[in-house]
Amino acid sequence: MKTLKKIIGFFRNYKLFTIALLTLIAGSGLYFGKQHTAALWVMGTVAIAESLPLIKSMWEDLRNGTYGIDILALTAIIASVFLRQDFAALVVIVMLTGGESLEDYAERRSHRELNALLKGSPQKAHVLRGRKVLDVAASEVKVGDRIIVKPGELVPVDAVIYEGESSFNEASLTGESLPVNRGIGEQILSGSINNEQLVTARAIHSAEDSQYQQIVHLIESAEAARSPFVRLADRYSIPFTAAAYIMAIGVWIVTGHAIRFLEVIIVATPCPLILAAPIALISGMSRAYKHGIIVKTGSALEKLAEAKTIIFDKTGTLTTGVLALDSVTAFAPYSKDEMLSLVASAEQNSNHIIALAIVAAAKAKGLKLAKVKGALETPGQGLKLTHKSESVLIGRPDFIAKHGIDITKVPKSKAKTTVLVAINDRLAGALFLSDSVREESRRTIQALVKLGLKRTVMITGDNKSSALGIAKKVGIKTVYAETLPGEKLSALEDIKERPIVFVGDGVNDAPVLTGADVGIALGARGSTAASESADIVILLDDLSKVATARQIAKKTFDIAKQSILVGIALSLILMLVFITGRFQPIYGAVLQEIVDVVVIFNALRVHNLKITQ
């Protein structure tokens, strides 16, 4: 019993080798004129055994209402056995099994980078406990721990440097090959490599919550959630299968010889057509990862290639997501610099995004900031304080208006945020802040249009005036403004040109990322919810990678379709040749093997795509 199990196990693990060996033994016997009955029976039995999985798969497809071209391969094997062309049947099986092995090779090659990432996670950390340096497992580092990262070592957890500076290689995280310099106060990411100097940093995340593990989780979820690859060849299955059967049955009827049926049907065996698309897709997903793009499923890549509409969130996607001072207005007798200096002085101890932008603008102009005491803050509204014996109000327009101050003089602006200043119950000035457009936004939109996207749309919760201003700058004509997260999903239903791609980065984008045909989350440093909801995650905070992903998707499917059509064309030519009856079935099986290799290696070209973005 144990011996039998070992034999079965060997056959399962080395199926291609076993079948090829049987074919070689039987083939040499036939070549030398020794047609041993035992050898023929072995070949026939193997052929029937290998047909059973095909029969099962085909039956399940039919029950699910789908139809593929596996039936041609099954017909060729069964017909070969019944017509005692066992050697030809075995060659067809070698072809199918060899194709599976090539697919496995392509998958291993394509996932080399992903496997390297999974295996290369940080393992150890140097933690400062008092004056001692302890070597502990990376998983034991807690938020707030002080860690030392030496030259050549992996950063164990996300941390902020408080002593030293160095350059770090973040290629395994973002796909960016150039090192980045990090100094005091800057964040370093787990999984990046310290290139030069020793640095001391404070952990801001545990290992489980750090950047490296987030990316590992994304890749693992992509592996687990990968749906079966779309069999592009099945789209051509009905006409191709019909043509093969018509030719084969026709020549059988005309000649009255069943062998003629086999001679035609055996060169229609669709192994290269079945495997071309999956191999191209696996290679395309790997190619995308080299550019810092994680594609979770093959169907996402296909829909991205076929997309007609792309929708962008505004803040943090088309824009940097960081406010900057746009302009200052001052009313006599005050100057613009006085307004900016006053507000910056009042806000200098705040960590609010608006305050930080105003203080940064004042310091950039070299303005001196005064010490302000006793400011009374109304959260989310504004400040009330006394400065140089004057009563000062700083805040939102509605906050100033509530204090009975006339704000009708405030000029209209397309800025995202307005901060008003009132002194002694009179309007004194206004500061306008806006979110700056990413440098690459307009260039990316133009590239996407060139890549065949018919419609570009922006959806945002911001006011219409600000949204239209940003849309004009980046070249988007259709704008949905002042939308809530739930309303963004409703906006998708209004769009007719599908499939639809949505690009976003925040928590409020998670529902629409899920609802779109393809959801793309920009920047793995953003929301975990967005990354988990998306079909594609761009690790770099670089919008141009959206165009790169589209280019990879289109080229991947162009090559996949090319491989399928080449396989169909070669099979049709061979059918026309073999319909003459001048060649034996075994020659057809061998020639189809050559077609198999040509088509599959053409599909493997995806792995070496040249990207122009």
Domains and CATH numbers, the chain: 123-205 (2.70.150.10), 322-436 (3.40.1110.10)
Nearest to 261 by CA among 94, 46, 80: 80
Told to judge if 313 belongs to the known catalytic residues of this protein, a careful annotator would answer yes
pLDDT band (50, 70, 90) for residue 323: confident
Binning pLDDT at 50, 70 and 90, where does residue 65 land?
Answer: low
- Is residue 239 classed exposed, middle or buried when 0-12, 13-18 and 19+ CB atoms within 10 A define those classes? exposed
Q: Quick check: 19 and 97 in contact, CB under 8 A?
A: yes
What the block records as the tokens of 220 is: 């693992």
**Selected residue with higher pLDDT from 211 and 229:** 211
Mean predicted confidence (pLDDT) in 44-52? 59
Bridge partner list, 390: 387
What is the mean pLDDT of the segment spanning 495-504?
86
Task: Please compute the mean of the pLDDT values over residues 239-266 and round it to a whole number.
Answer: 87
Task: Check residue 86 and give its pLDDT.
Answer: 66
pLDDT, position 109? 54
Instruction: Output the CA torsion 354→357→361→367 (10° steps).
Output: 60
**pLDDT tens for each residue of 376-429:** 887 767 889 988 888 999 988 888 999 999 998 888 876 667 899 999 999 999
Q: Identify the residue with better confidence: 245 or 24.
A: 245
Looking at residues 215-236, what average pLDDT do you find?
Answer: 56
Residue from 86, 234, 313, 462 carrying the catalytic annotation: 313
Q: What is the mean pLDDT of residues 77-83?
A: 77
**Structure-token pair, residue 84:** 């005692």
Confidence of residue 15 (pLDDT cuts 50, 70, 90): very low
Which range among 73-87, 193-207, 346-360, 554-568 shows the weakest confidence by mean pLDDT?
Answer: 73-87
| Residue 53, pLDDT above cutoff 60 | yes
Q: In which element (H, E) is residue 172 found?
A: helix 171-174
Task: Tell me if 430 sits within 8 A of 418, measured CB to CB.
Answer: yes
Name the E strands within 296-388.
309-313, 319-330, 376-378, 382-387
Task: List Cβ neighbours of 511 (8 Å cut-off, separation of 6 or more).
Answer: 485, 486, 488, 489, 533
Among 17-31, 262-276, 307-321, 329-343, the least confident range: 17-31
End-to-end CA distance of the chain: 60
Which one of 72-81, 221-230, 425-434, 586-595 scores highest in mean pLDDT?
Answer: 425-434
Say what the pLDDT of residue 418 is. 87
- Phi, psi dihedrals of residue 456, rounded to the nearest 5°: -115, 135
Question: 496 or 418: which carries more pLDDT confidence?
Answer: 418
Q: What is the 3-state secondary structure (H, E, C) of 229-241?
A: CCCHHHHHHHHHH
Instruction: Please count the other Cβ atoms lying within 10 Å of the Cβ belonging to residue 477.
Output: 10
Supply the pLDDT for residue 344: 93
**Which amino acid is it at 560?**
A
Choice among 443-447, 488-492, 601-605 with the minimum mean pLDDT: 488-492
Here the tokens at position 14 are: 């080395």
Q: Indicate if the pLDDT at residue 23 is higher than 90.
A: no
Q: What is the pLDDT of residue 176?
A: 57
Three-state secondary structure of 362-394: HHHCCCCCCCCCCCEEECCCEEEEEECCEEEEE
Please, what is the average pLDDT of the chain? 78
287 falls in which pLDDT band (50, 70, 90)?
A: confident
Query: Looking at residue 447, what is its pLDDT?
Result: 93
Higher pLDDT, 521 or 429: 429
pLDDT average, residue stretch 149-176 = 83
Using the CB atoms, write b or e for 70-108: b if 16+ within 10 Å.
bbbbbbbbbbbbebebbbbbbbbbbbbbbbeebbeebbe
- 20 three-class SS: helix
pLDDT confidence of residue 243: 85
Distance, CA of 567 to CA of 72 (rounded, Å): 14
Length of the chain, in residues = 613
Q: Are strands 159-163 and 293-295 parallel, antiparallel or unpaired?
A: unpaired
Contacts 24+ apart (CB under 8 A), 349-356: 353/322, 353/323, 354/323, 354/417, 354/419, 354/433, 356/323
Q: Which of 71, 70, 92, 89 is nearest to 79 (CA)?
A: 89
Cα distance between residue 420 and residue 397, in whole Å: 6
Say yes or no to pLDDT of 442 above 90.
Answer: yes
